[in-house]
Amino acid sequence: MADTLNWNSPWPAPAKINLFLHVLGRRPDGYHLLQTVFLFLDQADLLHFFSRQDSRIELATPLPGVPAEQDLTVRAARALAAATGCRQGATIAVDKRLPMGGGLGGGSSDAATTLLALNHLWGCGLSRARLEEIGLTLGADVPIFIHGHSAFAEGVGEQFTDVMPPESHYLVLVPPVAVPTANIFRDPALRRDTPAIAPAAWHNGFGGNDLEVVACRLYPEVARHLDWLRQWGTARMSGSGACCFASFDTAAAAQEALAALPEDMKGFVTRGMRLHPLANLTV
């Protein structure tokens, strides 16, 4: 089905959650060494790509406060063109459905879908491994969306071992704050010495999120949403925040929790997916 996508089609850019996220250390260049498990969600941004007669890359839907030159979709398209020498152009439109600064990987997912889509539409023929290398120059979370399978990730988040977490239903809460990732990682109180585990030792429910303590201190709304969610079971923050999630065995149970949400909180019910919707796209 993915190969039937073409110019003007809606191309999905799904969210992700981190089922756990540990910080093992920090490299001399300042990047942090991590271990995490990524799981995709069926909640997604939708991207549209329109062919052009020139070689320009244009964004039809700029985000408030984000110059087009800094938008990850534009940067991804230009990085692909530079890597391949492609002189085709594209106009990109993003139907933005994922929160910004939420830890769900929305911008990274948009960049990955841009690389996958334009590699396909422009006929560049780059492998997924090469697209992952380009994606890593744009952000540490971009490669997992190109990789396309739920994975135990190491390094700065770009070394993958495929895993098979349960495709549970989730209630995801969206606190009314945007959490800049850099604010969390540069905080001196962040734990950076969690012991590593082997990928084979991971099991569902393992670990926690080392970034959570810092995010909750800096952004009390994150702590409030986590506290409310924990009445339903184990709750965790995704990525560097602000979004929080809890798993449920059925969609009905997740919807029941959503219905009990206080009026001043927002959230949505979604399903976990081991495979990215573009996992079978021919590159």
pLDDT in tens, 15-37: 999 999 999 999 988 889 999 99
Q: Is the pLDDT of residue 2 over 80?
A: no
Report pLDDT digits (tens) over 209-238.
999 999 999 999 999 999 999 999 999 999
Distances (CA, A) of 167 to 10, 47, 118, 170, 276: 24, 24, 29, 9, 12
- Known active-site residue 96: no
pLDDT band at residue 10 using 50, 70 and 90 as cut-offs: very high
**Phi, psi values for residue 255, rounded to 5°:** -65, -35
Q: What is the DSSP string of 143-208?
A: HHHHH-B-EEEETTTTEEEE------EEEEE--S----HHHHHT-TTS---PPP--GGG--TT---
- Residue 60's Cα: distance from chain center in Å? 22
**pLDDT: is 30 or 50 the higher one?**
50
Residue 1 confidence (pLDDT):
52
Read off the pLDDT of each residue in 103-123 and give the average, rounded to a whole number. 97
What is the C-alpha to C-alpha distance for residues 104 and 117, in angstroms, rounded to an integer? Answer: 20
Amino acid letter, 235: A
pLDDT band at residue 167 using 50, 70 and 90 as cut-offs: very high
Q: Is the pLDDT of residue 57 over 70?
A: yes
Residue 247 confidence (pLDDT):
98
**Which residues are known binding-site members?**
99-109
pLDDT band at residue 3 using 50, 70 and 90 as cut-offs: low
What is the C-alpha to C-alpha distance for residues 97 and 35, in angstroms, rounded to an integer? Answer: 27
Residue 91 confidence (pLDDT):
97
- Known active-site residue 141: yes
**DSSP H or E segment with residue 46:** strand 32-51
**Phi, psi values for residue 152, rounded to 5°:** -80, 120
Residue 80 confidence (pLDDT):
98
Q: Is the pLDDT of residue 149 over 60?
A: yes
Residue 30 confidence (pLDDT):
84
**Which residues are known binding-site members for ATP?**
99-109
Residue among 3, 16, 45, 227 flagged as catalytic: 16
In 10 A of CB 12, how many CB atoms?
Answer: 19
Report pLDDT digits (tens) over 182-195.
999 999 999 999 99
Residue among 45, 71, 110, 141 flagged as catalytic: 141
Residue 65 confidence (pLDDT):
84
Q: Which domains does the chain have, with CATH numbers?
A: 1-283 (3.30.230.10)
